[in-house]
Amino acid sequence: MKKFENYRSNLAVLTHAHEQDLENEFIISGIIDKFFLQLELGWKSLKELLAYEGADIARSGSPREIIKAAYQLFDSMDEDTWLTMLSQRNNMAHIYDEAEAKALTQAILDKYIPAFQALEQEILDRYGEILNTL
């Protein structure tokens, strides 16, 4: 599944965010951009997996609805964390505030990267070789 391959590749880069200069505004912007992409790849991967599982909600184009449905399927997903990620992405996409950007970057490092990693592992454990055929 190409979306999940991209999810894994982007996550591999994002996991190195803590090694960067977190006082540099360009670095912070880059981490946030990678986070936006990771979230996008995440819900779109979930959408494909829900379709594979035969869930009607997979026809929806709504990231919120996909995340809520996936929460029922994947034990590693914390619905509040994922919906907060979605809300923060929506808020930060329209305005830039340095303090909010730094707070979001810290949340990415502390909570969101681990959430992405947990989902990655659960998908690998659950679907294994099938992923190559989706």
Average pLDDT, the chain: 93
For residues 39 and 31, give the distance between their C-alpha atoms in angstroms, rounded to a whole number: 12
| pLDDT value, residue 85 | 96
CATH number at residue 113: 1.20.120
Residue-range definition of the domain harbouring residue 81: 2-17+25-133
| pLDDT value, residue 32 | 95
Total domain count, the chain: 1
pLDDT, tens digit (0-9, with 9 covering 90-100), for 14-61: 999 999 999 999 999 999 999 999 999 999 999 999 999 999 999 988
Q: DSSP per residue over 13-77, as a string?
A: HHTTGGGS-TT-HHHHHHHHHHHHHHHHHHHHHHHHHHHHTT-GGGG---HHHHHHHHHHH-TT-
Mean pLDDT, residues 102-112? 96
